[in-house]
Structure 1
Amino acid sequence: MIWITAVCIVAIIAAVIVFRPKEAPAQIAYDKLPRLGDANAPVKVVELGDYKCPSCKYFSQTIEPQLKKDYIDKGQVALYFSNFVFIGPDSNTAALAAQSIYHQNNDAFWKFYDVVYKNQGDEKVQWATPQFLVDLAKKEKLPVDYDLLLKDITTKKYQNEIDEHNEFARKNQVNSTPTLFINGKKLDNSMDYNAIKAAIDKAGKGE
């Protein structure tokens, strides 16, 4: 009887695992985020990042170019960016600058994304000041209105959007950056390119 009961318990546990409903993908407003690649790409990858995060710098300089070459340029993946600011007050300042540039020119956003990480300072130092960020945009000759950029930063014009991004991160138990969502599913290891590729390939098959 004990053996039969044990077998039944194991069978019940197995059934629960097999028939447990799959976790629904996170709801993401892709049309409200900066996009790199074709909006109609079958796989949508969202990076949650902080401009002061050293790991995000690695992602932008090492993994993002690989994604672009292997998937984005082929129309298979569209990459999106969402803020998750937590390192310091100037994380939010950098996010305000990026949101302003995005609303002025989506393509300029991705140039700014690259140059901010290339010029990233120490995460323990408040380096991302409004003037530094505007000067950076000017130095790179980004096609945006620099006076408007400075105004948007100082008046915190897009703070509500950053707050929404942060709320999405908290709601979906994001506790580090960068964190990727692939077709709405959170990836556990967003710094392993092989794991990213495997998840993208799986998503591309509709799995």
Structure 2
Amino acid sequence: MKPKKKQANSVARRKEQQAAQEKRMKRIMWITGASIVVLVLLFVFIRPQGEKTAEDSKDMFNYSTLPVLGNPEAPVKLVEFGDFKCPTCRAFSQSISPEIQKDYIDTGKVAMYFMNFLVISPDGDSNTAALAAQSVFHQNKDEYWKFNKALYDNQQDEATVWATPEFLVDLARKENIKVDYDLLSKDIKDKTYQNEVNEHDTVANKLNVMSTPSLFINGNKVSDQDILNYDSIKSTIDKALAAQNK
């Protein structure tokens, strides 16, 4: 009888082991299935960073709150992210912006907007210059672009701290920018418009902007390699205009 009992016990253990194995397999299959469902949901509902469409980008620009050069009702909206201490931004301001203005802004085809993106001295005088520009914008919108140009034209070496409150107020006086200079000085020192500068930075980061100047034309980012290539920018603007006319 003992051999039979041992055999019975062995069969019982095998059945227990088989049942446990089946239970483990069911658990693994359930976990695997749940993981697949989660991955599918992530794929469907979450677009990977960096794959924003032009429509996504356009929705991130609150155009009515930004400095604008030209007719806000123009069919093409061009947004420049810039840093007043950035040498390439200065080159863009002096060589590319005038061409865009002559060919497209003055003819009512393009409205150009500006947003601050601090890359040279985010915690220093890049920020101070942006605060000054925002103060001018809020005091006298018609004077903003004159001050914007003056900042770039009087830009100094990026390694030096030059955009101090005193320098910025003196520059506004020298260029006859029609604002209250005492208020300008106060706005800079009190960081009155710091939240706006920070908001510009936040939008830039959400759009994966990595450098200045960066351009968006109707929500489409211009290649950084073409930023000082007017023919390429012109071609992108023309395509945007053609799309609006369809």
1:86 aligned residue (113, 119, 122)? 119
State the number of aligned residues.
187
| Distance in 2 between residues matched to 1:62 and 1:86, nearest whole Å | 21
Say whether 1:144 aligns with 2:174. no
**Counterpart in 1 of 2:136?**
101
Structure 2 letter corresponding to 1:98: A
- Which blocks of at least 5 consecutive residues in structure 2 are unaligned? 1-50
**Counterpart in 2 of 1:54?**
87
| Distance in 2 between residues matched to 1:22 and 1:68, nearest whole Å | 28
**Structure with more of its chain in helix, by fraction:** 2
**Counterpart in 1 of 2:242?**
205
- Which blocks of at least 5 consecutive residues in structure 1 are unaligned? 1-20
| Distance in 2 between residues matched to 1:120 and 1:201, nearest whole Å | 32
Q: TM-score, normalised by structure 1?
A: 0.88
Larger Rg, first or second structure (1 or 2): 2
Deviations 1:92-131 (A, max 9, x none): 0000000000011112110001111111010000100001
**1:34-45 equivalence runs, <5 A:** 34-45=67-78
2:53 aligned residue (23, 36, 58)? 23
**Aligned-pair CA distance for 1:190:** 2.0
Whether contact under 8 Å (1:178, 1:191) holds in the other structure is no
Q: TM-score, normalised by structure 2?
A: 0.74
Whether contact under 8 Å (1:34, 1:106) holds in the other structure is yes
1:193 aligned residue (219, 222, 230)? 230
4+ aligned runs moved over 4 Å, structure 1: none
1:124 aligned residue (159, 182, 190)? 159
| Distance in 2 between residues matched to 1:105 and 1:44, nearest whole Å | 22
Deviations 1:125-172 (A, max 9, x none): 010000100000001111101000000000000000010100111111
**1:176-191 equivalence runs, <5 A:** 176-188=211-223, 189-191=226-228
Cα distance change on mapping 1:22 and 1:101 into 2, 3 Å: closer
